[in-house]
A and B are shown apart, each in its own frame.
Chain A
Amino acid sequence: MSAGVGALRRALDNRHLLGALFLIPAAAFLLLFLTYPLGLGVYLGFTDAKIGRAGAWIGLENFISIWDDEIVRLALFNTFFYTVVASVIKFALGLWLALLLNQRLPLKSVVRAVVLLPFIVPTALSAIAFWWIYDSQFSIISWALMKLGVIDQYIEFLGEPWHARLATIAANIWRGVPFVAICLLAGLQTISPSYYEAASLDGATGWQQLRHVTLPLLAPITAVVMTFSVLFTFTDFQLIYVLTRGGPLNATHLMATLSFQRAIPGGYLGEGAAIATAMVPFLLGAIMFSYFGLQRRAWQQGGADR
């Protein structure tokens, strides 16, 4: 009896065995609900599965048909436009906000905490506020612009293709800037003030300091933050679903919302899965970018190449 307990204790002190044991819960979740569905998703893309009916293998048929599909092409364009425009602006504004927050400020910690609010609240719910702000009859923006005499009729924020694209991008930027700013701020705080002292003694202007001191030292964390930002933006769903459901005239459909529409309300699981699978190469690109960003960072900090 006691020999058995002793053996068990010895076994539990074996790193490899205990390590494997400790990994079981996480591995079970991730294999069943992440790895398996990931594979299943790719497989479904090659079938004509519908809701409640397992499909048959149809080879590349889905991929060929979505390649010829005008709406899918439009969604791909929208996704790129949305991602590129929103990410660039999020980075610029986020960096600016981070630099502002890095100054001596009264109530600094309160300001910093408040700034992150758009990122904290459920996107679907803040999107409702934007929906109301963008309302075609009662928009507060239109009201204010009318009073200021800038426009003479209410703006169709979500009713017109290009307006809707820009309006959804604005909402996405609103939500994403705090994330970028707070992460970059964390990076800024690790930069030693002595660099700036040295630079200013050498006569560098504020812009030169930003360009030649801040940005290079911030590059590693910028690479990672922007990779995440691009990843989230590229696969965005909630904001579009709440604000426009992809309309008007599919002008705001992203790959994610289109694959949802085809697969769940439409019932064409296979086609939806093919559209979702088509996003994978782009995601891999972003991940590679992140990986090399991380590696460069490790190297800069004197870590060994891995």
Chain B
Amino acid sequence: MSEGTSARSELRVAAGAQAMDYLVTMPRRVVTVYLPLGVFLFVLLFPFYWMVMTALKPNEELLSHEGNPFWVHSPTLVHVKKLLFDTAYPDWLWNTLLVSVVATFLSLVASVLAAYAIERLRFRGARYVGMSIFLAYLVPPSILFIPLAAVVYRLQLFDTRLALILTYPTFLIPFCTWLLMGYLRSIPFELEECALIDGASRLQILGKIILPLAVPGLISAGIFAFTLSWNEFIYALTFISSSEVKTVPIGVITELVEGDVYHWGPLMAGALFGSLPVVLLYSLFVEYYVSGMTGAVKE
């Protein structure tokens, strides 16, 4: 009798992993799943909550040790007002948007063509080109920015948006090409063969068969590329010095921090508004973003 129960309870513990977790009792699930997950979510999300609170607090509340700091007692938009009307923040937002959109678009065009050539045309040496694209993907911006600064300087692009538009594709193209190569691989060859037999040219095949089928892949690559450009830091920090051409991350870091007195309210408001566009885009295309991220790792 007692032997039977202990064997069963052992089985119950064993089933804890996944497939049979309906056998696990509720209190146990609370301790092993919900509690740790709750802690994870709290830690991962707290900085965002704190950003919002700080951006809405008046200065007296920010710099006071009295009261409960986790809540805003008299919310104010004065920091947001200062950010939008007394700084070049709207310019930075516009620059970031412009640079990200154009760099993403250029990269997507170049990447689709390259991925199609490598994956489908299978020209001589395609495999080596594919391999070098992967290697290019692994070159980090922090070892490229110094010589790139020299190149940008020589091209007389220093302190222009064009410098960013032309350099961002160096990390976007390898990523997008790699992702799209994986995506194109999943489109059946037979479709192309049928079209070839029916007398379609390669260009027609690309435009009328491959591209429409690759739309989800293009969205994944586009979303990911856009957020990568939006978040870029080191190139913009190195190549840009005038306030009116700065991007949001650079502007916030270099211009809202004045001397030893930090204006935490506007800083946080700036961080918040600079994050919102990518968060919004992400929330609309979560699945595409995740498949882009995991796809690039899995392929």
A206 close to B (CB within 8 Å): yes
Q: Among the listed B65, B133, B151, B274, which residue makes an inter-chain contact with A125, where contact means beta carbons less than 8 Å apart?
A: B274
Q: Is the CB of A41 within 8 A of B138?
A: no
Tell me the smallest distance from the CB of B270 to a CB of chain A, in Å. 8
Q: How far is the CA of A258 from the CA of B234 in the complex (A)?
A: 13
- Asked if B150 is at the interface of the complex by the 8 Å CB criterion, the answer is yes
CB of B114 within 8 A of CB of A123, answer no
B88-120 Cβ-contact flags toward A at 8 Å (1 or 0): 000000000000000000100111011011100
Residues of B within 8 A of A187 (CB): 298
A144: min CB distance to chain B, Å:
9
A3 to B275, CA, bound (A): 56
Q: Choose, from A15-23, A62-70, A159-167, the stretch at the interface.
A: A15-23
Q: How far is the CA of A235 from the CA of B145 in the complex (A)?
A: 12
Interface size class of chain A, counting residues whose CB lies under 8 Å from the partner chain: 35 or more
- Whether A25 and B278, one on each chain, are in contact in the complex, defined by CB atoms closer than 8 angstroms, is no
Which of B15, B118, B140, B298 meets A200, CB within 8 Å?
B15
Known: A224-B297, A231-B140, A235-B142. A30 touches B117 (CB 8 A): no
Nearest 9 CB-CB pairs, A to B? A19-B123, A256-B142, A124-B249, A193-B19, A22-B117, A186-B294, A37-B147, A26-B114, A235-B140
B225 to chain A, nearest CB (A): 13
Give how many B residues have a beta carbon under 8 Å from the other chain's beta carbons: 104
Closest-CB distance, A128 to chain B (whole angstroms): 5
Of the candidate stretches B6-14, B73-81, B183-191, B213-221, the one touching chain A is B6-14
User: In this complex, what residue of B is CB-closest to A200?
Assistant: B14
List, in ascending order, chain A residues with CB within 8 A of B121's CB: 15-16, 18-19, 22
Residues in chain B near residue A140, CB distance under 8 A: 50, 69-70
A44 and B150: CB pair below 8 A? yes
Question: Across the interface, which residues of A come within 8 angstroms of B298, CB to CB?
Answer: 183, 186-187, 221, 224
Complex Cα distance A205/B16, Å? Answer: 8
Assuming A41-B147, A224-B298, what are 7 further A-B pairs, CB within 8 angstroms? Answer: A30-B174, A121-B278, A121-B279, A123-B233, A138-B69, A237-B233, A256-B143
Interface residue? A295 (CB, 8 A): no
- Cβ-neighbour of B271 out of A13, A100, A125, A232 (below 8 A): A125
A122-B274 in contact (CB<8A) = yes
